[in-house]
Structure 1
Amino acid sequence: MQRRDFLSFSGLSLAGLILPHTRLIAAEALMVPMDVAAKKILADAALTAATHAGASYCDVRVGRYLRQSLITREDKVQNVVNTESAGVGIRVIVNGAWGFAATHQTKPDAVAAATRQAVAIANANAGHRSQPVQLAPVKGVGEVAWKTPIKKNAMEVPVKEKVELLLSVNAAGLNAGANFVASRMFLINEQKYFASTDGSYIDQDVHRIWLPFTVTAIDKASGKFRTRDGLSAPMGLGYEYLDADPAGKFALPGGVVGYGRSYDVMEDVVAATKQARAKLTAPSVKPGKYDLVLDPSNLFLTIHENVGHPLELDRVLGYEANYAGTSFATLDKREAGFRWGSEIVNFTADKTEPGSLGAVGYDDEGVKTKRWDLVKDGVLVNYQATRDEVHILGESESHGCSYADSWSSVQFQRMANVSLAPGKNKLSVADMVKNVENGIYIHGRGSYSIDQQRYNAQFGGQLFYEIKNGQITRQIEDVAYQIRTPEFWNACVAICDESDYRLGGSFFDGKGQPSQVSAVSHGSSTTRFNGVNVINTARSLG
C-alpha cells in the first residue's frame, strides 16, 4: 500500500497474529473504557461463588487489554492492527492449594461457573501439594484507582497521524542517505480491575508506548551493509513522549544524542543514517582489554539479563529451570554477604518510578507497589518475591511484583524495574571520558548471549567509539564485551551523577510456561568499567 493510498483510508485495520479470545476492532473502539460498576458486579460474583464453595482466599481480575501496532517500511504501510482481549481470571486457595480458571464471557453466571471450576482445580491440586500455600498478609484498600500519568492518550491519536509520522521518519532517513528504513509503533493499554477476599477493589489504567526503527546503509560497490537501530526507549508514557521536547535530550561526547522522557525521532533517524553509513568504513576493533564507558541505552540490557533475572526468587528456587534457567545468585550467597559489585554499585527494584514500563499503583495480587534494595554498597541484600514466596526470605510483606499479561493468564513473579543508582558525586559523561586512556564508548542495544544461570555473558551494541588518552578518536565496529557477572560489576569504577540518569527497557520480556510477556524498564547513568575483555565479532576483517 502506497503512502497516498493509506492516508485516504485512515480507518483501515489489517489482520495480524491474533491470540485466543482476542478480536480485531476499529481504532475508535480503543478509546472506550470499561464501566467500573460492571466490573465490580463481575468481581463480586466470583468472590461470592468462591466463598460459598469453600475457598479460603480468592482474587479476581477483570481485564481489557488493548494493543495497537503500526508497521511501515520506506513509503509503504505493511500492517496496522488494533486488538482487544477481554475477560475474567479467578484464582483461589482451597485446602492450601492454588486453583485458577478464566472465562471470556463477561456475565455474572459465567464468572461464577469459572470460579467453581477454579475451586475444583484447587481441590484436585490439594492432593498433590507438598506444603500449603503461605500468603503474606495484605490489608484490603477498599475501592481505589490508579492511572499512568499520561498527558496525551496515544490510543486517541488518529491512526492517520501516527502513520504519517512513521512514513515521515522513513522519508527523513532515505533523504539523509539510507538505502532502507523500517519504522514501527507499539501501543498498549491495560485496563485492569482487581478484587480479592482481602477487601480490595482496585481499578487501574496502564499505558505504554514504543517507536523503534532500523536504518540500513549499503556500499553498492562491495555489497557490504550496516544498520543502526533507534536509540529510544519504550516508556510508560502517553503520546507526549514523541513531542521532541528539547529538555528531554542529552548532548553526549562524540556527537551522539541521548534521550530521556522525550524522544525526537526525526533527529535520531537522520543521525542513525549518517552513523550507519560511517560504519561501512569504520575500522574493526582490535580484541583485548579495554575500559568501557557504557551509555544507559546499552547498559540497560546488561542490567536486565545479569541483575534483574538472576535476582527473581522463582528462578533462584528453580521454578523457571525448564524454560529460562536458574540463577547463580543462590540464597546462601545473600546469607554470606556476597559481593556483587564494587562499593559504588547499588541496585534497586522499583514498581513506582514515573515513566517506567513497570510502574503501577498495585500489582496483580493487590499489593501496593514500592521500591526496595537488591544490592547495597556492592553487597547482595535481597531478591524479588511475591505473596506466596516472600516468607522464604524471612519477610512478611510481598514485594509487589506479581503480574499477568492477560486476564486468561495466571499471575506470577515478574521482574520489577531494576536500576543502577546514579553516582553520588558530580560527574558528567565528558569528565568520565577525559579520564579514560584506552577504552570504548558504547551506545544502544545489540545482540547478546548469556548462560542459563546468568553468570557468563556477551553483549554487543549499536555504536562504538574508540577512546584514546581521554579523547574520542573515531567510530569503530564489530565490538562485543565478554563478562562474568560479579567480575563485571566489581570492575565498575565510576558512575555519572543523576543529571545523566535515563531509562532503557524491554517491551516484550518473555517468561513462564505457557509463556507470558511483560514490559520492564532499567535506569542508569553512564557507567565506566575497567579492564573488560572485548572480542571482534566480524566474520571477516576485510
Structure 2
Amino acid sequence: MGLGALVLPKFAFGNPVDPSRFLNDGIDVKIKKELADVALNAAKAKGATYADVRIGRYLNQIVMTRETRVQNIANTESFGVGIRVIANGCWGFAATNNVTREEVAKAAERAVAVAKANSRVKAEPVRLAPQKGYGEVNWKTPIEINTFTVPVKDKVDLLLSVNDAALKGGANFVNSAIMAINEQKYFASTDGSYIDQDIHRLFPTFTVTKIDRASGKFETRKSLSSPVGMGYEYLKARPEDKVSGIVTRYRGRYDMLEDVQNATRDVEQKLKATSVQPGKYDLILDPSHLWLTIHESVAHPTELDRVLGYEANYAGTSFLTLDKWKSGNFNFGSKIVNVVADKLQPGSLGAVGYDDEGVKCGQWDLIKDGILVNYQAIRDQAHIIGLDHSQGCCYAQSWADVQFQRMPNVSLQPGKTPLSVNEMIKNVEKGIYIIGDGSFSIDQQRYNFQFGGQTFYEVKNGQITGMLKDVAYQANTREFWNSCTAIADKSDYRLGGAFNDGKGQPGQSNAVSHGSSTTRFNGVNVINTARKI
C-alpha cells in the first residue's frame, strides 16, 4: 500500500502503451515550433498581452515485484498542449490533447476567454518580472543509458534477484520496484523563446520485512537508494560510489543488490535492538535521513506562495513570514547553516535548463550563515520581494496542468573544513546516529515537527555501541537548526529526494532532490515511539 501511494500521483497520468513506443522520437521540433506559433498568434489576436505554450510528451514506466512474482508492469504515455495567457491583467489557461493547428488555436482562444472572465474579479493586475527570449535552444539530462531502452525483462530480472537475495537472507517479505520518467517538453512564449528539453528521472526502491515468529513482532528496512535525474547507469555502481561505514551508502550510483543484502541483515538486528530511552541526545544524521528534514523544515517554509498564504487551504502556510525576511537578521539556524536553492545540480531530480515559464535556471541562497536571506519565487511573485527577475522555479506536472511555483533542489551546504563522519562521532558522549528516512509529522506552519528513520545506532563516549529502535526526535525548526554544531565536508555530500512532492489545488506532483553531508545536532529531544502516553 505504501509503495502504491508513492506511485499513484505521477503514474496514474497517461494512457497505457506498448513500451516499444517509448523509443519513438515524437514529433519533430520544427512542427512543435509551428504549432507553438499558431497558439501564440491566436492568443495575441484575441487580446492577450502575454502567452506561453507548453507541448509535452510524458512517458512513465513502473515495474513492481513482490517475493517471486511480478505484481505490475505499467507503461503510459501522455501528449498534449497547455496554453497560458495574460489578458486584461489576469491569467487564463486552457489545454488540449488534440494536437492539430485548429485545436491548438481554439485552446489559445479559450485561454484568453478564461483570462477575461477572471479579470472581472481581479484585485490587481498580474506583474511579470521581465524575461528576455532565448530564441531556439535545447537542454537534455546528461544520461549514459536511456532507461526506456533497457528491456523490461532485464528490469524484472534485476528486481527478482534483489527479492531472492532478501529471501535467502531470511526476510519474510520483500517488494521492489523501478520507476522511470521521461518528460519531453517544448516551451514557447511571446518573449521570443523556443525551448526544447528532454528530462529523465529514475527511482529504484525496495522494502524488506522480517518477522519474529515467537513474539509476532516485525521490522522493516527500505532501500537507501535515491530518486535521481539520471539514466539507467545509476544502477551500475562503481567502487568510488560506495560510502562505507556502519551501513554502506551510495553517492553517484547505486548497488541495489548489495543494499538489499545489507537491509536483510539490518532487519535482523532491528528485531534484537534495544528500545531507546527518551531524553536529550546529540544526533548524527546521515544524508539519507536528513534530506527529508530539509525538505519539510527548510524547503517548504521558504516557498513564497506558502509564505503569502496561497497554499493555506491545502498545504499550509509558513512561519517564515515576510517581516522576518525584511528584518535582514532573522536567525534561522546556527552560523554554519548555509542552504542553497539549485536547479542545476547534475544528477538531481530538479535539474533542468529552463523552467516551465522559460526562465534559465540557476542557484541562489536561502539561508546564509544561519540568516534567512531569500525565498523561492517565479515571474509573477518576484516584485513582492523586490526582485527584478524570476528565480526559475516554475513547474507543471503535465501539459494539462497550469504551471506555478514549485520547490527547486534545496540543499544544506557541506562543511568548509575537513571533517569525516568517524571524527564527528568521536566527539559525541551521548548520541544517536540515524540512517534512512522514516515517518514524520510537521505542523501547518512548518515549525513543530517529529521525524523517525530507518536504522538507529547508539553512540556512547565516541563509540557506536549497538542498534536502537523506537526512535523519533522532536523539535521546532529554529531550535533544531540552531542546534547544528558540525557538518561533514564535501567528500561526504550526497543527495536524497522525493519523486512525488504534492502541492496545489488541483493537486500536482513535483520531483525534487535535497543534498547534505552528515550533520550533527546537539541536545535534541528523543522520544520512544513504542511507549504509550
TM-score by length of 1: 0.95
Contact kept in structure 1, 2:10 and 2:509, CA below 8 Å: no
Q: Tell me whether 1:242 sits opposite 2:235 in the alignment.
A: yes
Q: Match of 1:535?
A: 527
Q: Could you tell me which of 318, 321, 324 is aligned with 2:309?
A: 318
Cα distance in 2 between the residues matched to 1:20 and 1:138: 34
Q: Match of 2:285?
A: 294
Q: CA deviation at 1:21?
A: 7.5
Report SS of the residue matched to 1:42: helix
Deviations 1:371-430 (A, max 9, x none): 000000000000000000010000101000000000000000000100000000000001
Report SS of the residue matched to 1:151: coil
Report SS of the residue matched to 1:91: strand
Q: Which runs of 5+ in 1 are unaligned?
A: 1-15
Q: Match of 2:360?
A: 368
Q: CA deviation at 1:33?
A: 2.0
Q: Tell me whether 1:68 sits opposite 2:82 in the alignment.
A: no
Map residues 425-436 of structure 1 onto 2, 5 A cutoff: 425-436=417-428
Q: AA paired with 2:241?
A: G
Q: CA deviation at 1:20?
A: 8.5
Cα distance in 2 between the residues matched to 1:299 and 1:405: 26
Deviations 1:101-127 (A, max 9, x none): 000001010000000000000000111
Contact kept in structure 1, 2:431 and 2:460, CA below 8 Å: yes
Q: Tell me whether 1:219 sits opposite 2:212 in the alignment.
A: yes
Q: CA deviation at 1:246?
A: 1.4
Q: Residues 442, 114 of structure 1: CA spacing in aligned structure 2 closer, same or farther, 3 A cutoff? A: same
Q: Match of 1:265?
A: 256
Q: CA deviation at 1:177?
A: 1.1
Q: Residues 21, 356 of structure 1: CA spacing in aligned structure 2 closer, same or farther, 3 A cutoff? A: closer
Q: Could you tell me which of 140, 153, 176 is aligned with 1:183?
A: 176
Report SS of the residue matched to 2:437: coil
Q: AA paired with 1:26?
A: D
Q: Could you tell me which of 143, 161, 171 is aligned with 2:164?
A: 171
Map residues 327-338 of structure 1 onto 2, 5 A cutoff: 327-336=318-327, 337-338=329-330
Contact kept in structure 2, 1:21 and 1:86, CA below 8 Å: no
Cα distance in 2 between the residues matched to 1:539 and 1:158: 48
Deviations 1:2-43 (A, max 9, x none): xxxxxxxxxxxxxx9998872110011112122212211211
Q: Which runs of 5+ in 2 are unaligned?
A: 1-7
Q: Could you tell me which of 149, 154, 164 is aligned with 1:156?
A: 149
Deviations 1:327-380 (A, max 9, x none): 000010011221000000000000000000000000000000000000000000
Q: Match of 1:22?
A: 14
Q: Match of 1:525?
A: 517
Report SS of the residue matched to 1:291: strand
Q: Match of 2:371?
A: 379
Q: Match of 1:424?
A: 416
Q: Residues 80, 221 of structure 1: CA spacing in aligned structure 2 closer, same or farther, 3 A cutoff? A: same
Contact kept in structure 2, 1:248 and 1:261, CA below 8 Å: yes
Q: Match of 2:294?
A: 303
Cα distance in 1 between the residues matched to 2:347 and 2:501: 18
Cα distance in 1 between the residues matched to 2:292 and 2:440: 9
Deviations 1:237-278 (A, max 9, x none): 0000000211111112x2x11111100011100000010011
Cα distance in 2 between the residues matched to 1:320 and 1:33: 38
Q: Percent identical across equivalent pairs? A: 65
Q: Match of 1:389?
A: 381
Map residues 110-121 of structure 1 onto 2, 5 A cutoff: 110-121=103-114
Q: Tell me whether 1:200 sits opposite 2:204 in the alignment.
A: no
Contact kept in structure 1, 2:377 and 2:390, CA below 8 Å: yes
Q: AA paired with 1:81?
A: A
Contact kept in structure 2, 1:21 and 1:104, CA below 8 Å: no
TM-score by length of 2: 0.97
Q: Match of 1:142?
A: 135
Cα distance in 2 between the residues matched to 1:516 and 1:42: 26
Question: Structure 1 residues 29-38 or 442-451, which shifts more?
Answer: 29-38
Q: Tell me whether 1:343 sits opposite 2:335 in the alignment.
A: yes
Question: Structure 1 residues 106-115 or 32-41, which shifts more?
Answer: 32-41
Contact kept in structure 2, 1:99 and 1:119, CA below 8 Å: yes
Contact kept in structure 2, 1:76 and 1:167, CA below 8 Å: yes
Q: AA paired with 2:319?
A: F
Q: Match of 1:505?
A: 497
Q: Residues 534, 187 of structure 1: CA spacing in aligned structure 2 closer, same or farther, 3 A cutoff? A: same
Q: CA deviation at 1:68?
A: 0.2
Cα distance in 1 between the residues matched to 2:10 and 2:527: 41
Q: AA paired with 1:262?
A: R
Q: Residues 21, 209 of structure 1: CA spacing in aligned structure 2 closer, same or farther, 3 A cutoff? A: closer
Report SS of the residue matched to 1:348: strand
Report SS of the residue matched to 2:361: coil
Cα distance in 2 between the residues matched to 1:22 and 1:113: 23
Q: CA RMSD in A?
A: 1.3
Cα distance in 2 between the residues matched to 1:245 and 1:91: 45
Cα distance in 1 between the residues matched to 2:531 and 2:471: 12
Deviations 1:312-337 (A, max 9, x none): 00000000000010000001001122
Cα distance in 1 between the residues matched to 2:531 and 2:79: 48
Cα distance in 2 between the residues matched to 1:408 and 1:473: 54
Q: Tell me whether 1:398 sits opposite 2:376 in the alignment.
A: no
Q: Match of 2:3?
A: none
Contact kept in structure 1, 2:9 and 2:500, CA below 8 Å: no
Cα distance in 1 between the residues matched to 2:9 and 2:378: 32
Report SS of the residue matched to 2:48: coil
Q: Could you tell me which of 278, 284, 287 is aligned with 2:269?
A: 278
Q: Match of 1:5?
A: none
Deviations 1:256-301 (A, max 9, x none): 1111110001110000001001111111000000000000000000
Q: Match of 1:359?
A: 351
Q: AA paired with 1:93?
A: I
